[in-house]
Chains A and B, each alone.
Chain A
Amino acid sequence: MKEINSIYIIDDDHITVFGIKKMLKTIVKCNNIETFENGRLALDGLQERISAGISAPEVIFLDINMPIMDGWEFLDEFVTLDLKEKIIINVITSSIDPSDYQKWNDFRLKCWHYLNFRNKPIYKIEVTDLNRMNITSFT
């Protein structure tokens, strides 16, 4: 089974968080899975982590629609962070608004990290979602 140091789940929907965690259990071994209800809390946690000298999480599951700071706003700030590692970010949304897909694509092209796009519902997290490659499953 694949081993990952740290995973962030940023989503205000408890059921989705529950689902992602459950699906991760079957394919990955990770002792550090952190969840945040919105982008702001996640950024705060990340900053704390960096200032404590701990490396950034390898994989992030990111929801779009969240209060206070949504997924796009989180990405806006996240891409400005000076991170050495390339992070795998899985954008997970129930939105089928083409403009959301367009936004994801814009980010993908301008950012250093790996960005995947997954539409809900998700039944299974593939190993590819945790590997460093750009994959989209826009259904």
Chain B
Amino acid sequence: MKAIKKFPYPYLIKQLPQPTAFVDNDHILVSASDSWIHNFDAIQENSMGSEVYKLFASHSEFHFDDLKRCLKGDKTHKLRHKNIDNSEDVWYESIFTPWFDERENLLGTIIQTNNITQEAIKDAELKRMNTLLKAKSEVAKVGSWEYDIAQDKITWCDMTKRIHGVPKSYVPNVNEGIAFYKQGYSRNRISMLFHNLLEKGVPFSERLVIITHDGKERWVAAGGKAIKKDGKVVKLFGTFQDVNEHVVAENKTRESEQLLTTLIDNLPLNVFIKDKNSRKILVNKSECEYLGLKPKDLIGKTDFDLYDKDVAQISRDEDLEVMRTLKPMLGQETINVRKDGSITNFLTSKIPLLDMNGKVYGLIGMSMDITHMKQKEDQLRNLINVTAVQNKKLINFAHIVSHNLRSHTANFSMLLDFLIKERDGSERERIMKMLSYASDNLLETLENLNEVVDISTNINMDKKSMNLNESIIKVQQNLSAFLERNKVEFINSVPDDLTVPSVPAYLESIVLNLVTNAVKYRKTNAHPVISLTAKKQEDSVIFSISDNGLGIDLNRYGNKIFGMYKTFHNNKDARGLGLYIIKNQIEAMGGNITVNSEVGVGTTFNVYFNEENQ
């Protein structure tokens, strides 16, 4: 072996284009091409005859033991090693081949060292990519599959297998793969999609349900694409992703959204959400119906676009207050006036709307239409007022009755007491006369009270449309002797065709009383002049009767003139009942009566007949 210390044809070796070196059994470098020497930063002359390890010493990323093994000369070995050239990594692959002489004696090892930097980088990149892909697939739960048409072989990646719930050793085929899909829509759909992909290369991406190996339903996103060669589909591949949690969550969100929308839309309340500038960003069905607009026409509008200016300003001020203080406004009675002028009463609540950071970005509003309730409330209040007035009248009447009856019974009592004690015959007779007089007075009082009670209990008597002039003429005829005797000038300018809604008996009573009063309280030094007029107003008829009589001091008697048993003049006929009765009659028909008077000039009574039937 020592015999081949000198290598023949060293100039030939030196020129080999392939970096090649010859090492003897003692691992001494015998000969090498320049290109090989270059790879090891060595100089030709110095290197020959030295141990090959010395040259490898400048290289890294290999085990020294491996190099030793490679130089055993038993078989061909490969070794990767690295050098740094100009601060750049240079990778080499050395192939160690046993070196024999013509008699098959082992002479040493032939080393061929090639620069494989490009391959090494590609390998590293590929490795990195594979790792990345695997990590991605794990994190996103995205698996893949591939189908080789020629071999009819389908392959699943580990993730795809895991999603199916099968072990890594599982070997799938097309039919079994399709059978994993849930019977019905999912299975039919995937069959069709796979067929179309196979036949026509139509790609797909679909969410479907599979039943895993352990029997669980799961949502998956399956995708497929074809690879074509010369217009023919040769290979199919695709992705396979577990989207169960996603779909379930999505469905849940959609369900609760649907629930919320249904709830908000069907609440018997106007619901709206406004942004910071009081622009509506959400409205429900009731709000749309109330404003007669579609949601898209309402979104972005402010109250100034929808309501009367003053009302809108009030609403805007409320919005600002709620968003400033973050205190909800609850159950506030508000009034809305729409652009067309129609008024609605609302019970409104406004609640500030906060974002995740607790900053206000708008408000939720809810309004309940309480117009009907308001109207009922007003009606009720009116009714209470009417009742209160009637109650007061009743109490007043009770006092009148009590007083009037008491005064008579007191007289009876006193007179009877006298009678018992009286011995004198003529005096007794006188007392008896007084008793009889008192009895007559009592009867008359009872009749008067009866008359009043009749009116109060006949409130529901039917009103009829009565011709006013006809009633006046009738009274005038009945009183003709009385009027003539008192030389009354009677001026009736009431229109012939004017009608008033009245209880027939009451109308005559009213005219009769007012006419006779006008005559009774005449001036002694002038002929009585009575003028009657009537005019129609919006929903009432005013009937006026004026005289040139004594007149009455209204400052003094104003609130007593229509009282019972109130008389104001020294008149023997005065009962203090007429005006009290007709006031009751007029009010029972829903009208009223007023008086103007000046002492020494005359008096005018105005009677208002209300058109409106109560």
B390 at the interface (CB under 8 A from A): no
Min C-beta distance of B395 to chain A, whole Å: 10
Min C-beta distance of B567 to chain A, whole Å: 4
> Which A-chain residue is minimally distant from B422 (CB atoms)?
A22
Q: A68-B570, A97-B399 are in contact. Are A19 and B411 (CB under 8 A)?
A: yes
Q: How far is the CA of A14 from the CA of B569 in the complex (A)?
A: 18
B337 at the interface (CB under 8 A from A): no
* Cβ-defined partner of A15 (8 Å) among B437, B566, B574: B437
B410 at the interface (CB under 8 A from A): yes
Min C-beta distance of B56 to chain A, whole Å: 134
The digit string for A107-124, where 1 denotes a CB below 8 A from any CB of B, is: 000000000000011110
Min C-beta distance of A98 to chain B, whole Å: 10
Report whether B568 and A15 are in contact in the complex, using a CB–CB cutoff of 8 Å.
Answer: no
Report whether B438 and A15 are in contact in the complex, using a CB–CB cutoff of 8 Å.
Answer: yes
The digit string for A11-55, where 1 denotes a CB below 8 A from any CB of B, is: 001111011001000000000000000000000000000000000
Report whether A120 and B569 are in contact in the complex, using a CB–CB cutoff of 8 Å.
Answer: no
Report whether A15 and B411 are in contact in the complex, using a CB–CB cutoff of 8 Å.
Answer: yes
B76 at the interface (CB under 8 A from A): no
A95 at the interface (CB under 8 A from B): yes
B482 at the interface (CB under 8 A from A): no
Report whether A123 and B568 are in contact in the complex, using a CB–CB cutoff of 8 Å.
Answer: no
Q: A15-B434, A18-B434, A67-B567 are in contact. Are A94 and B417 (CB under 8 A)?
A: no
B403 at the interface (CB under 8 A from A): yes
The residues of A that contact B418 with a CB separation of less than 8 Å are 19, 22
Q: A94-B403, A94-B410, A120-B410 are in contact. Are A68 and B567 (CB under 8 A)?
A: yes
Q: A15-B438, A19-B415 are in contact. Are A67 and B407 (CB under 8 A)?
A: no
Min C-beta distance of B416 to chain A, whole Å: 9
The residues of B that contact A65 with a CB separation of less than 8 Å are 403, 407, 565
Q: How far is the CA of A68 from the CA of B571 in the complex (A)?
A: 10
B49 at the interface (CB under 8 A from A): no
Q: A15-B437, A120-B414 are in contact. Are A68 and B568 (CB under 8 A)?
A: yes
Mark out the residues of chain B between 413 and 446 whose CB falls within 8 Å of any chain A CB in the assembled complex. 413-415, 417-418, 434, 437-438
A96 at the interface (CB under 8 A from B): yes
* Cβ-defined partner of B415 (8 Å) among A15, A67, A94, A96: A15
Report whether B406 and A19 are in contact in the complex, using a CB–CB cutoff of 8 Å.
Answer: no
The digit string for A95-139, where 1 denotes a CB below 8 A from any CB of B, is: 111000000000000000000000011110000000000000000
Min C-beta distance of A7 to chain B, whole Å: 18
Q: How far is the CA of A19 from the CA of B417 in the complex (A)?
A: 10
Mark out the residues of chain B between 553 and 584 whose CB falls within 8 Å of any chain A CB in the assembled complex. 565-570, 574, 576
The digit string for A53-71, where 1 denotes a CB below 8 A from any CB of B, is: 0000000000001011000
* Cβ-defined partner of B406 (8 Å) among A14, A18, A22, A96: A96
Write 24 A-B pairs (CB below 8 A) sorted by A numbering.
A13-B407, A13-B411, A14-B437, A15-B434, A15-B437, A15-B438, A16-B414, A19-B411, A19-B414, A65-B403, A67-B576, A94-B406, A94-B407, A95-B399, A95-B403, A95-B406, A120-B407, A120-B410, A120-B414, A121-B409, A121-B411, A121-B413, A123-B414, A123-B417
Interface residues of B (CB under 8 A from A): 399, 402-403, 406-407, 409-411, 413-415, 417-418, 434, 437-438, 565-570, 574, 576
List 6 tightest A-B contacts by C-beta distance, closest first.
A120-B410, A67-B567, A121-B410, A94-B407, A121-B413, A94-B406
